Structure formats: structure tokens, C-alpha cells
Amino acid sequence: MQAKECFIYIDGAARGNPGEAGIGIVIKDGENRKIKQLYKYIGELSNNAAEYTALIYALQEALILGLREVAVYSDSELLVKQLNREYRVKNSNLKTYYEQFLHLKTGFDRLRIRQIKREENKEADRLANEAIDSRIDTSLKSN
């Protein structure tokens, strides 16, 4: 178990809505050092579905790494407000992702979801777009 809260930056990108989509994830420790970064091409999805997919992969990776206190940062207002229950999840496709989030959430001692400006999420955005550009295969990439 980690002594300090870790930070996860996520982004989902879709070229077209729906369109070719990718996710980018950057995980940092409590000292703001990069632990891991991931990106994945995820096929044709809406932008909101790509954002949720990034969230699900990020939380799964955090659990695999044994992280139990996590702050997730996203530039998606819809995602953040739905996860923090400020907005209802009305779209039936997004409800499935939301239910996955609720299930994964139980694996953490502390999980915060925060909205940040796009400029503060450039690294995750770059990775999501790199995933779309690569389209080599659908395996999760890490570097």
C-alpha cells in the first residue's frame, strides 16, 4: 500500500464523434514522479466513451500497481461531473462505464476525481492522440 496519494491524468480522444479513438494515461507518485504512462487505440467510439474508457483503464492499472489513494484528473467536464454526481448519467452507453467505475471505486481507500484545464492535461492528450496515430494493434502500450 502506498503511503501517499498518487495522481492519474487521463484523456480520451476521438477524431469525429464517433470516430477513431484512443486513450492516454499518466500515473505519478506522491512526489509527482512519473510511475507509468499508457496509451491504447480503442477503435471507433464517441469522445465521451473514450474519456470513460481512459478512466476504466487507469483505475484498473492503479489497482494492479497496488495504489489505494488516488486522485484522477481529467479535462472532461461531463465525465468529472457525472463521477462526482453533479450530473446524472442519462446516456445508456455511458451508464455501463459508470457502473464499471462504481465497481472499481470499491478497490480504493480514497479516490478523488478532479477537473483540470486542457492545458494542464497535455501529456495524457498527447498519448491519446499518439494511440490514434499508431493504430498498430489494440494492445495496451506502456513506456
Q: What is this structure's pTM?
A: 0.91
The answer to whether the peptide bond before residue 18 is cis (omega within 30 degrees of 0) is yes
Number of domains comprising the chain: 1
Report the CATH number that the domain containing residue 121 is assigned in CATH: 3.30.420.10
| Full DSSP string of 4-70 | S-EEEEEEEEEEETTEEEEEEEEEE-TTS-EEEEEEEEEEEE-HHHHHHHHHHHHHHHHHHTT--EE
Three-class secondary structure of residue 120 per DSSP: helix
Q: Look up the domain containing 95 and give its range.
A: 6-136
> pLDDT tens string for the chain (143 positions)?
445 899 999 999 999 889 999 999 999 999 999 999 999 999 999 999 999 999 999 999 999 999 999 999 999 999 999 999 999 999 999 999 999 999 999 999 999 999 999 999 999 999 999 999 988 555 556 65
Considering the domain boundaries, does residue 1 fall inside one?
no
Considering the domain boundaries, does residue 105 fall inside one?
yes
Crossing angle for the helix pair 47-64 and 92-105, nearest 10 degrees? 20
Considering the domain boundaries, does residue 13 fall inside one?
yes
| CB 61, CB 38: distance < 8 Å | yes
Calpha distance 96→23 (Å, rounded): 18
Considering the domain boundaries, does residue 115 fall inside one?
yes
Considering the domain boundaries, does residue 88 fall inside one?
yes
Residue-level pLDDT at 135: 80
Considering the domain boundaries, does residue 75 fall inside one?
yes
| Identity of residue 73 | Y
Considering the domain boundaries, does residue 110 fall inside one?
yes
Considering the domain boundaries, does residue 24 fall inside one?
yes
